[in-house]
Structure 1
């Protein structure tokens, strides 16, 4: 049953306005300026830094002037994903909201509730004069989705508070108090080009319809990775037919499980029927294999024209072998917390650039030595085939603190409000709390949020009732932090 009250409607109205503004990672200037104007109109002091992080100071309500400052934190950017048949332009088009029963979703695009809903909740809290609260610092960071870039760039003194409520978790009733750390790895593999024999036909092979999702939260769901699926198909074909790859692409972001991938392949014209039969058989097998996780999975093959060069037969095999051997998915589960993924990898992006195979992988772990070990394994693959490799965008894990006074207060407030205890968990995803806690000693933090399903995909949706529950909890918690 939908949990309805006025504040939910107010929050969702702000969220709808936020979704009028394009804000893919790296393109947050418009949303930042919009928030700055909003803050000025409401006489709130603002601060920005050289990378574009934004801080808005909200004075304490009466009687709370001497209470500790509370930082309410979220990020400005969103993962921009859309279905193959969508004409949406993320650089200029508004996200169109669609209400489906108790859920709010978007029209063939990601919704941006991750993390636009945090902005909307913070704005509503700042403006509601009936809410009793300490001095608030609304901290909005940039480029979270591409590698926690904004949080990494925060400098000493940018904000004062040492109590932080991050609104970037996606399960109402669950307090996150720890997260995985991670690192991205870039591989560049040289490949040889050659003219294609005259009797070879160019084909396009598409692997798509996969569910995708967040590479941390959803990695244990065993969903299909479109890059891996396509490479598996190419491997099967290569065992029987001399194919020559001309191009391959797939994936959209380091933290999204690839939903679609495409290859341009030359093959002998007299083998087209054989290859089509192989692809049809492979699709049938894969649809059965992933019937529960990716029921809409498909493999398509079509004849096209254009191009006259491709990788050599050996170069094609090299490319296939590299992707086949790279790890993807859960590498280890936690021995301390039941049900928590400890270490994983996502083969996130693949492309051809200047004659080289480019691959981006994203490793996560709650144990630093294990993310290092997995990263070294991936780097070794690149070196073994004569490639170049480097790893960057490292972010630390957030180690749980069960003695946190903020956690204790939050649990007490939640129990009194909803007559049940919240779950207290760690998450296999990167949260900005990990970086903020590492950079600013003495932080007391929790991460919360309304229920969001399938973030980083066009299936993203937010449970409307949970928005109101988060509001009620935030109001009660801020009142208790006197």
Structure 2
């Protein structure tokens, strides 16, 4: 193993001891500032907790242009069902498994903690004379995963460089020069409730219907892989149960599914009351559906689980922010038949997956939608639908389709601010130099791509004129899922590439 790879992994493990869920980056921001000041680097932050660390040029590079090395502090916090990990306080355990590093039943946060580790080790190596480099600005932003808030809030003058190396890509040997823009639709469906008649308690039992074990994944990277959406599968199962049992024999109490806007939902659950005389028929229906679903998604989601289990009358749930806390809350009501019907039509009517492929770049998803999350709150069901496109007209088109379906079901829609696409520049001097350096270093040409995922480059480039940008990084698989892992040998290649790229600016 390259000695710098070992150092980068050690720093990465230190970073993973610090909670850094999106919108809760205070601790990692403070840690980065303390790390910088303890080593004599100039550092600053802003009201959002973005961090900039200024690293002086090494000898011979004093007159070189300033490079920005950019990544984000936050991570998508996903874990397996049986994991007791608490992302708000527990360190993430990193496990080396051959050439891969993974978590212990959790996402590992290589997206994008590895960018932080690379930048910090590079800064120290320059100070020790182990590597030459131009003036550097290490720009670490907050809340990339849920709103790109940090990049949106960067004030003019916060950084000075005009060449930006974004270290948030996940396939070593591929240079990203463009990305999709996007928008989140926040859908709210009012709920009408009916009180539960406890005199009928001897006739009805409470059950949890769940979909689990799906692959999920990043909605900008894996949306074209036809993976199952847990929310949609759950409602397909609910619809079939209502059809087989009769709507009067199964009533919906609440449902929740998905985790964040940019992850394909890997889990979803519904709590229902079920007539005890229909239990056997319900279990048979679920068994048949389980076999059908597993056959349909055998290749994309081999771990799929559909389960119906009886539970105590006290339903366990409470939604707070983006997190479900499990507490005992007595159930005294369920959805009215009208609300159930509206919700069913809404969920099954919303588009999910690829909407259109690019006409100009073969294999590139141009436009998509991710039916991302569903939450039952006091008197509403709240749904997040995330649209992406590299074409502004198509982004509006898919967003309007989502809005139309929602309004037909009696819901209303609010939009979060759009984030812009990053338009590719195939004639960029930075791109040409990076291609040349990579080819000379590794004996093969890198691939150059535009991606469907969103990157902070789109926002930074649109708000700061004259930026030259490129995105790359070590290989990460299954980001935004408990299966996330990073390919250790690819870290060495990124380090060597950066070292040789900087030499061309001496």
Q: TM-score, normalized by length of structure 2?
A: 0.93
- Most deviating of 261-270 and 193-202: 193-202
**Cα distance, 1:278 vs structure 2:** 0.6
Query: What is residue 164 of structure 1 aligned with on the other side?
Result: 164
In structure 2, C-alpha distance between the alignment counterparts of 1:401 and 1:265, rounded to whole Å: 53
Query: What is residue 36 of structure 1 aligned with on the other side?
Result: 33
2:268 pairs, out of 261, 278, 282, with 261
The count of corresponding residues between Structure 1 and Structure 2 is: 479
- Structure 1: runs of 5+ lacking an equivalent: none
- Structure 2: runs of 5+ lacking an equivalent: 315-330
Contact 2:110 2:476 in 1 (8 A): yes
In structure 2, C-alpha distance between the alignment counterparts of 1:275 and 1:213, rounded to whole Å: 31
**Cα distance, 1:201 vs structure 2:** 2.5
Query: What is residue 204 of structure 2 aligned with on the other side?
Result: 200
Query: What is residue 347 of structure 1 aligned with on the other side?
Result: 371
- Most deviating of 382-391 and 282-291: 382-391
Query: What is residue 304 of structure 2 aligned with on the other side?
Result: 297
Q: Secondary structure at the residue paired with 1:394?
A: coil
What does residue range 318-333 of structure 1 map to in structure 2 within 5 Å? 318-333=342-357
**Cα distance, 1:236 vs structure 2:** 1.0
In structure 1, C-alpha distance between the alignment counterparts of 2:439 and 2:283, rounded to whole Å: 59
Query: What is residue 188 of structure 1 aligned with on the other side?
Result: 188
Query: What is residue 324 of structure 2 aligned with on the other side?
Result: none
2:465 pairs, out of 441, 464, 470, with 441
1:109-165 CA distance string (max 9 Å, x none): 001000000000001111112211110000000000012110000111110000000
**Cα distance, 1:369 vs structure 2:** 1.0
Query: What is residue 94 of structure 2 aligned with on the other side?
Result: 97
In structure 2, C-alpha distance between the alignment counterparts of 1:19 and 1:357, rounded to whole Å: 34
In structure 2, C-alpha distance between the alignment counterparts of 1:220 and 1:468, rounded to whole Å: 30
In structure 2, C-alpha distance between the alignment counterparts of 1:217 and 1:319, rounded to whole Å: 28
Query: What is residue 81 of structure 2 aligned with on the other side?
Result: 84
**Cα distance, 1:273 vs structure 2:** 1.2
**Cα distance, 1:393 vs structure 2:** 3.5
**Cα distance, 1:445 vs structure 2:** 0.4
**Cα distance, 1:348 vs structure 2:** 0.8
Query: What is residue 214 of structure 1 aligned with on the other side?
Result: 218
**Cα distance, 1:52 vs structure 2:** 1.0
2:15 pairs, out of 10, 18, 38, with 18
**Cα distance, 1:481 vs structure 2:** 2.3
**Cα distance, 1:459 vs structure 2:** 0.2
**Cα distance, 1:181 vs structure 2:** 0.4
1:116 and 2:116 are equivalent in the alignment: no
Q: Secondary structure at the residue paired with 2:59?
A: coil
2:68 pairs, out of 59, 66, 71, with 71
Query: What is residue 179 of structure 1 aligned with on the other side?
Result: 179
Q: Secondary structure at the residue paired with 2:232?
A: helix
Q: Secondary structure at the residue paired with 2:29?
A: helix
Query: What is residue 224 of structure 1 aligned with on the other side?
Result: 228
1:126 pairs, out of 123, 146, 155, with 123
Query: What is residue 255 of structure 2 aligned with on the other side?
Result: 248
**Cα distance, 1:42 vs structure 2:** 1.2
Q: Secondary structure at the residue paired with 1:364?
A: strand
- Most deviating of 174-183 and 298-307: 298-307
Query: What is residue 420 of structure 1 aligned with on the other side?
Result: 444
Q: TM-score, normalized by length of structure 1?
A: 0.98
In structure 2, C-alpha distance between the alignment counterparts of 1:308 and 1:411, rounded to whole Å: 64
Contact 1:196 1:266 in 2 (8 A): no
In structure 2, C-alpha distance between the alignment counterparts of 1:103 and 1:74, rounded to whole Å: 21
**Cα distance, 1:195 vs structure 2:** 2.4
Q: Secondary structure at the residue paired with 1:466?
A: helix
Contact 2:33 2:44 in 1 (8 A): no
In structure 1, C-alpha distance between the alignment counterparts of 2:42 and 2:332, rounded to whole Å: 60
RMSD: 1.0
Contact 2:345 2:409 in 1 (8 A): no
2:58 pairs, out of 56, 61, 64, with 61
In structure 1, C-alpha distance between the alignment counterparts of 2:254 and 2:300, rounded to whole Å: 28
Query: What is residue 143 of structure 2 aligned with on the other side?
Result: 143
1:385 pairs, out of 386, 399, 409, with 409
The runs of at least 4 aligned residues of structure 1 exceeding 3 Å deviation read: none
- Most deviating of 68-77 and 304-313: 304-313
**Cα distance, 1:379 vs structure 2:** 1.2
Contact 1:83 1:108 in 2 (8 A): yes
1:5 pairs, out of 2, 9, 31, with 2
